[in-house]
Amino acid sequence: MLDTTYILFFFFFFFLITSFSPLMAAYNLTLPGQHPNPEAVALQVHSIVNASLSRMLSRRKLLSTCETGNPIDDCWRCDSNWQLNRQRLADCGIGFGQYAVGGKGGRYYVVTDSSDPDPVNPPPGTLRYGVIQTEPLWIVFAASMVIQLSEELIFNSYKTLDGRGANVHITGGGCITLQYISNVIIHNIHIHHCYQSGETKISIFGSRDIWIDHCSLSHCKDGLIDAVMGSTGITISNNHFSHHNEVMLLGHSDDYLPDSGMQVTIAFNHFGKKLIQRMPRCRRGYIHVVNNDFTRWEMYAIGGSGNPTINSQGNRYIAPFDRNAKEVTKRVDTSEEKWRNWNWRSEGDVMANGAYFVASGEELEVKYEKAYSVEPKSANFLDQITMNAGVLVGRGRSSGKWTAAGNVTAGGDDDGNYLMAISGDPDDYDGDYAGGYMLCPNSILLYYLLAMLTFMLL
């Protein structure tokens, strides 16, 4: 009689072979979390955006200024008590990552220790201790802090990183790895200068139901965000990208067939200063790029190989001054004979400074009929929709800060509008790096004014 362990191992090995072999993938290529109708998801995104814009315009007539037309922000920032119900954020997602619940329903875990002394046995109170727990957790921060990682930060499933009310920077070795997990939300975190043990800032590997929102990402060795090896159900929204070469990679390789089931929404992001290429670079899958602001790439904005579907709607593409780099798109290492049948479509995009999008694909109108049944008029409101891309920090003294008692303090205003983006183009981490935080010119001026006032009062 065969040993039970041997039998289980045999069936596990057989499952792996049949699941990932090109032959089997060609017949049954459905990933866990893959949506059966991606065009319907694209349509839903436009419907939600246009509904938010309609509410904003109607409220503006009534002198109400909370709504911005950004459906994610309007979902929680207009709640005057959002600090008392942080987990409502999990209900505000859109696109393919809208089902990411993160740590909703779980306990709050408060990061009180910014150190990372022991990656193997991290002490309670550290960020690493929280993300490796097996239970759902909504992770918040007791204060602003810089977390210098000693090694890559490997998450477990059902976690939310909620940086609202604090100014949190993650840097150092390897940054964030999401490998073979699901249901993670990363919100309102600075992630930059990750070099030591890894190449990618946020690495999504064989994972699903992932939402990355309101983060600021820059300065890394390889990609700022990479999603590979059968990852799907991903939304990347309201982020600010700057100072980087290869920004985003979606798909492991041209020959890795499971990535044909990859579905990613890229919405309301600002692709800012000193970016060169890959915003994103796609291999296979269905990529919906909607209502983003692209400013002066150096090589190209959107690239791909391996026949991905790229649905570009309501974006603004501002080309660089280099007349040889005006094209938004790039088919990587592929002849026109092959790529002319790929489904790449631009609808309602704003082209500036000579930018142009090379579309392709047979029967385009049929392929995208459902996605285009709502005209993406929101491109005209891009400044409004993307004005708060990146990390939000509070203007007030409390600003939604998590207290030591485990409660949250009110911000002192009527809603979440006292949270403002601090990662716009004028600074983008070009300022001095003092005490672990980047000081923008306005912050430096304020610092000296306060110092002079203090000196005068002594």
| Overall size of the chain counted in residues | 458
77 is known as an active-site residue? no
Interacting residues of 231 by C-beta distance below 8 A, sequence separation 6+: 204, 205, 206, 207, 208, 210, 259, 262
φ and ψ of 324, to 5 deg = -90, 0
The CA distance from 255 to 306, in Å, is 7
For 363-397, give one letter per residue: b (16+ CB within 10 A) or e: eeeebbeebbebebebbebbeebbbbbbbbbbeee
Q: Cβ–Cβ contacts within 10 Å for residue 421, how many?
A: 18
Q: Which has the closest alpha carbon to 111: 155, 145, 87? A: 145
Q: Which residue has the tokens 């003092």?
A: 434
The CA distance from 454 to 458, in Å, is 6
DSSP-derived pairing of the beta strands 392-394 and 419-421? antiparallel
| 128, 278, 316, 345: the active-site residue | 278
Q: Which residues are marked as active site?
A: 278
